[in-house]
């Protein structure tokens, strides 16, 4: 048949029968320098791994394997903005801004690259089979779909930069908040984000904090708060011993989103932060300590 199949972020395998029936076969617009990050989540893996650059390739659709076709065109390397950022980048409003911004820029590059391939005719097998092969020089690395569990804050197991990068990929990170209500332990899930790495002037607030304390309020350190009643800019979380990352907003299960001031107001000294939900309450208040 006289048609060309084009797949963009399709996520499913296109049967070889359909590809063979199309006179011009098929094209795949992929946001990485294949074979690096072949699979469902190339952009997310680039951010999580702290890559400095990424890019887009146009390749033919392989009738037997995912992301295994012939590369017809590749973009110039695209710098991942705020790579390895040590502070909360100016202009960040939501934790997924980095991912969404990168996705949008790669989509624009991909559309221009696809237009070029179609315009110059290299999509036609009779043309591209006679051209030299394009190699990205990258090693093969799978970018599988990310499980939701990766957005769980694993206290004592992760580094601050890993928590920060995950917050750029997921809408928020989550953990569990254990407190006491009416003399009984209550454990609720809390969604946290956006995140930022501590700025230099904020380290003084956590300098002498021990490993047993998992959160510390951080006041505004420069200028006036956006509203007169605001006292704290963020909450510093100690995800591992000496590994701190800051969060601006919190949403406790069944409650509205709150800022750092709201968190401090409802979080007395006996509040604990946990990676996993606590066991069913036995009515005891033992082992509730300042975290």
CATH code of the domain covering residue 209 = 3.10.25
Q: What is the CATH number of the domain that holds 110?
A: 3.40.50.170
Judge if 88 and 211 occupy the same domain: no
Q: How far, in Å, CA of 268 to CA of 44, rounded?
A: 36
Q: How far, in Å, CA of 104 to CA of 113, rounded?
A: 14
What are the pLDDT tens digits along the chain (291 aa)? 688 999 998 878 899 999 999 999 999 999 999 999 999 999 999 999 989 899 999 999 999 998 999 999 999 999 887 544 444 444 443 444 678 888 999 999 999 999 999 999 999 999 999 999 999 999 999 999 999 999 999 999 999 999 998 988 887 899 999 987 777 888 999 999 888 888 888 899 999 999 989 999 999 876 655 666 678 989 999 999 999 999 989 999 989 999 999 999 887 766 889 999 977 554 443 433 344
Q: What is the dihedral of CA 98, 104, 107, 109, to 10 degrees?
A: -90
Number of domains in the chain: 2
Dihedral sign of CA atoms 94, 100, 102, 104 in order: negative
pTM to 2 decimal places: 0.85
The verdict on residue 280 lying in a domain is: no
Task: Report the interhelical angle of 97-119 vs 160-169 (nearest 10°).
Answer: 60
Judge if 76 and 197 occupy the same domain: no
Domain stops at, among 142, 163, 196: 142
Nearest by Cα to 176 from 267, 65, 68, 277: 277
Judge if 109 and 157 occupy the same domain: no
Domain stops at, among 106, 126, 142: 142
The verdict on residue 43 lying in a domain is: yes
Judge if 131 and 24 occupy the same domain: yes
Judge if 167 and 138 occupy the same domain: no
The verdict on residue 270 lying in a domain is: yes
The verdict on residue 209 lying in a domain is: yes
The verdict on residue 19 lying in a domain is: yes
Judge if 187 and 137 occupy the same domain: no
The verdict on residue 291 lying in a domain is: no
Q: What is the Cα 73 distance to its own chain's centre?
A: 27
Judge if 178 and 114 occupy the same domain: no
pLDDT at 83: 43
Judge if 109 and 159 occupy the same domain: no
Across the chain, the runs of DSSP E, i.e. the strands, are 5-8, 26-30, 36-38, 53-54, 57-60, 71-74, 78-79, 141-142, 173-181, 184-192, 195-197, 215-219, 232-240, 243-247, 249-252, 258-259, 272-274
Q: How far, in Å, CA of 66 to CA of 280, rounded?
A: 45
Q: What is the dihedral of CA 57, 10, 162, 138, to 10 degrees?
A: -30
The verdict on residue 70 lying in a domain is: yes
Phi and psi torsions of 107, nearest 5°: -65, -40
Judge if 111 and 210 occupy the same domain: no
User: Which residues, 6 or more positions from 13, have their beta carbon under 8 angstroms from its beta carbon?
Assistant: 66
* 3-state secondary structure (DSSP) of residue 262: helix
Residue 243: give the domain boundaries.
148-274
Judge if 53 and 75 occupy the same domain: yes
Judge if 117 and 161 occupy the same domain: no
Judge if 153 and 134 occupy the same domain: no
């Amino acid at each position: 048949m006289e048609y060309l199949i084009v797949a963009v972020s399709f996520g499913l395998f296109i049967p070889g029968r359909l590809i063979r029936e199309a006179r011009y076969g098929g094209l795949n617009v992929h946001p990485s320098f294949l074979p690096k990050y072949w699979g469902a989540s190339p952009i997310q893996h680039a951010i999580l791994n702290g890559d400095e650059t990424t890019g887009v390739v146009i390749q033919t659709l392989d009738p037997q394997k995912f992301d295994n076709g012939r590369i017809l065109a590749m973009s110039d390397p695209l710098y991942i903005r705020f790579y390895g950022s040590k502070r909360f980048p100016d202009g960040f409003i939501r934790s997924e801004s980095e991912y969404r911004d990168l996705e949008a820029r790669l989509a624009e590059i991909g559309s221009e690259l696809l237009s070029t391939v179609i315009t110059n005719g290299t999509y036609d097998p009779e043309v591209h089979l006679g051209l030299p092969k394009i190699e990205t020089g990258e090693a093969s690395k799978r970018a599988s779909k990310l499980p939701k569990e990766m957005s769980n804050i694993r206290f004592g197991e992760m580094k601050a930069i890993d928590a920060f990068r995950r917050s750029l990929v997921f809408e928020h990170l989550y953990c569990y908040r254990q407190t006491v209500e009416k003399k009984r332990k209550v454990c609720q899930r809390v969604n946290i984000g956006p995140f930022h790495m501590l700025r230099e002037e904020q380290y003084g607030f956590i300098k002498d904090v021990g490993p047993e304390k998992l959160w510390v309020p951080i006041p505004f350190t420069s200028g006036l708060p956006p509203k007169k009643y605001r006292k704290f800019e963020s909450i510093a979380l100690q995800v591992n011993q000496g590994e701190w990352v800051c969060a601006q907003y919190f949403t406790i299960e069944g409650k509205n989103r709150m800022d750092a001031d709201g968190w401090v107001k409802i979080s007395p000294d006996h509040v604990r932060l946990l990676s996993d939900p606590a066991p069913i309450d036995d009515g005891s208040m033992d082992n509730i300590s300042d975290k």
